[in-house]
Amino acid sequence: MTRTTTSPVTGIEPAPAERRSVAQAIRGSDWTIRVLAVLGLLTVWWIASMIMGRLLMPSPARTVESFVSLIENGELVNAWLETLFILGTGLAAIAIVGISLGIILGRFRLADTFLDPVLTGLFVLPKLALLPIVALWFGYQETAKIVYIFLFGFFEVLFTVRAGVRAMEAEYVEVARSYAVPERVMLVSIILPASLPFVVTGLRLGLLRGIEGAVIAGFLLESNGIGGLIFNAGMGFRPEILFAGLATVAVVGVSINVALHAAERRVAPWTVTERS
């Protein structure tokens, strides 16, 4: 897997091994560096806000203030609840269709080859170009948004699971076949468990893409959810709301990444390049 490009967080080579005492001394000072970096970034931000003015760059204090008031008046929470609802529904559909189709196409070469040109075409197609089609068929409310999120995340799950099932075909399935394991047993006790790590990886990628789909849907379809909040903040020249909204998107993105990386490590410790 090309983890170095898909995931910078874990694709990093471990730092060169140092002698224990030196390593411990450095680890102690790592936190000093991190704290200094945060202070430095805050200072730069603060100075930038002085230079650029509050209309372009809110100060850290003003951003926190606006964040607190967005929480208090419920705007941020409501926006995220709306987004998480369509994201959750979309993801459930992605998981069900993506995993089952991935397993089917991974196992049956004929069907896979037959469908390949169309699926690849849809995968390559910039998803923005699908927006008018989604609007034409499904309107611009929840259903349309869920379909749009589905289109964003579906192919990641499908192609990851398909690749996984194909790879295991050579490893396990041939052995099982030579022991005359029946097809139904093969599915339940070989294919499903062995494809679990790919399922989790696919879901992580699909979910991250799904967030992007949800934000774009909030921009361009009915303007609500976190996408709508960010869009309206931009329209109304309210950069402090933009900053607060972006920060929550970052928190959600990082949490998904971390949680599903942990899941990947649990279900398949051998596939994850561990950071020392």
Partner 1 sequence: MRVAGRSVSAGSVLASRRAVRLLKVTGLVSFLVVWQVAGTASPAFYSTPTRVVAELQVLLFEDDLIPLTLETSWTMLVGLGLSIVIGVSIGFALGVYRRFSIAFEPWLAAFYAVPTAPWIPLMVVWFGIDREFAIAVVVIGTAVLLAFSTAAGVRETERQYREVAHSLQVKGWTMFIKVLLPGSIPFIGAGMRLSIKRAFTAVLIAEYLVGLPGLGLIIRGARESLATDRVFASAVAALIVGVALIAVSVAIERRLSRWRPVTF
Residue nearer to partner 1 on the CB measure, 10 or 192:
10
Question: In angstroms, rounded to a whole number, what is the distance separating the alpha carbons of residues 208 and 8?
Answer: 14
* DSSP string of 100-125, one letter each residue: HHHHHHHH-HHHHHHHHHHHHHHHHS
Closest by CA to 207, choosing from 91, 128, 92, is: 91
Residue nearer to partner 1 on the CB measure, 34 or 266:
34
Question: In angstroms, rounded to a whole number, what is the distance separating the alpha carbons of residues 241 and 219?
Answer: 15
Q: If phi over 0 gives left and psi between -120 and 50 gives alpha, with beta otherwise, what is residue 139?
A: left
Residue nearer to partner 1 on the CB measure, 42 or 77:
42
Q: How far is the CB of 263 from partner 1 (least distance, A)?
A: 16
Q: How far is the CB of 192 from partner 1 (least distance, A)?
A: 26
Q: Which residues bind partner 1 (CB under 8 A)?
A: 2, 4-5, 8-9, 11-13, 15-16, 30, 33-34, 36-37, 40-41, 56, 110, 113-118, 121, 124-133, 135-137, 208-209, 211-212, 215-216, 219-220, 226-227, 230-231, 233-235, 237, 239, 242-243, 245-246, 249-250, 253-254, 256-257
Q: How far is the CB of 36 from partner 1 (least distance, A)?
A: 7
Q: Take residue 112 and report the two structure tokens written for it.
A: 């896979």
Amino acid at 46: W
Q: How far is the CB of 155 from partner 1 (least distance, A)?
A: 13
Question: In angstroms, rounded to a whole number, what is the distance separating the alpha carbons of residues 236 and 233?
Answer: 5
Question: In angstroms, rounded to a whole number, what is the distance separating the alpha carbons of residues 12 and 168?
Answer: 26
Q: How far is the CB of 30 from partner 1 (least distance, A)?
A: 5
Render the burial of 182-210: b for 16+ CB within 10 Å, e for the rest.
eeeebeeebbeebbbbbbbbbbbbbbbbb
Residue nearer to partner 1 on the CB measure, 96 or 125:
125
- 246 CB-side CA count, 13 A: 9
Q: How far is the CB of 221 from partner 1 (least distance, A)?
A: 10
Residue nearer to partner 1 on the CB measure, 187 or 250:
250
Residue nearer to partner 1 on the CB measure, 195 or 210:
210
